[in-house]
Amino acid sequence: MQEKDYIQFIMEIKGSILKSRYKAASLANKEMLLLYYHTGYKLSRKIEEANWDTGVIQKISGDLQKELPGLRGFSYSNLKNMRQFFEEYPYLFQTL
């Protein structure tokens, strides 16, 4: 085994690992962004259609925490931000 070939092989494997990790993180981030946008869409539409008070967002957050213990990212302020995100960019993901 030649040392130079071995080191090159290790570097190729390392490159593949790092590339795959980056791609996996990128795909996960995309899915989270889509989830947040879709959640904002659903909140916005339901509040408007059902004529709910915006205070319902606090209740939704609490109920989600009860249904999914340990759930992170769906606090009152985050849900409010998701709704605002959708309302600011209602056509952002039409092409996806």
Domain locations in the chain as residue ranges: 3-88
Residue 33 has pLDDT above 60, yes or no: yes
Instruction: Give tens-digit pLDDT for 67-82.
Output: 999 999 999 999 999 9
Taking the C-alpha atoms of residue 61 and residue 32, their distance in angstroms, rounded to an integer, is 17
Tokens 């009860």, residue located: 66
List pLDDT tens digits, range 42-96: 999 999 999 999 899 999 999 999 999 999 999 999 999 999 999 999 988 765 4
Residue 11 has pLDDT above 90, yes or no: yes
The distance in angstroms from the start CA to the end CA of the chain is 49
Q: Check residue 94 and give its pLDDT.
A: 67
**Can you tell me the distance from the alpha carbon of 6 to that of 90, in angstroms, rounded to the nearest whole number?**
53
- Provide the pLDDT for residue 96: 46
DSSP state of 61: H
Q: How distant, in Å, are the alpha carbons of 8, 12, 18 from that of 76? A: 51, 45, 36
Query: What is the predicted pLDDT for the residue at 60?
Result: 97
Are 41 and 89 spatial neighbours (Cβ–Cβ below 8 Å)? Answer: no
- Ramachandran angles phi, psi of 71, nearest 5°: -60, 135
Q: How far apart are CA 20 and CA 24, in angstroms?
A: 6
For the entire predicted model, the pTM comes to 0.79
